[in-house]
Amino acid sequence: MPDDPVTDDLPPSGSGDPGEDDVVRALVDLRTELEHTVAELTAAAERADELIALRRGGHPWREIVPAEEPPLIIERISRALDTLGGAGSRFRREEARALQREGVSITAIGKLFGVTRQRASMLVQDRPERDQGPGD
């Protein structure tokens, strides 16, 4: 790997079992959510095409919108992105915690993640799931 000012001063990786840990589990969950999100967004895109065709075919919105089967296109998109965001946040927190356990400083974690030291510090703190906001 070429010289990288962010990672050059990091300690060597730990010798623990790299096969299964909280980060891997969070990443597996994220991967699953990515697949689900792609499927949901594909369905939303197909529905958008249908709505466009109906409107271009001369149907009024007052006829199109009530006929749309739930979940509405925007609900489908919002739900998919919210769920994906939650899985991404969990992965990011677990990754930050793992780096800290391996001796990486909060400042270095912040540099790796492109966030402030204060934000990195918040990522590694244990907080109940309900207290975590968007982008955690």
At 83-111, the pLDDT tens digits run: 999 999 999 999 999 999 999 999 999 99
Low-confidence winner among 12-16, 53-57, 63-67, 124-128 (lowest mean pLDDT): 12-16
Percent of the chain with pLDDT over 70: 79
14-47 pLDDT tens trace: 545 566 799 999 999 999 999 999 999 999 999 9
Looking at residues 6-15, what average pLDDT do you find?
49
DSSP structure class, residue 12: P
Quickly tell me which residue has 């891997």 as its tokens.
Answer: 24
pLDDT for the residue 136:
57
CA nearest to 44, candidates 84, 10, 79: 79
Residue with the bigger pLDDT between 12 and 91: it is 91
pLDDT at 131 over 80: no
pLDDT of residue 126: 76
| Chain mean pLDDT for the chain | 86
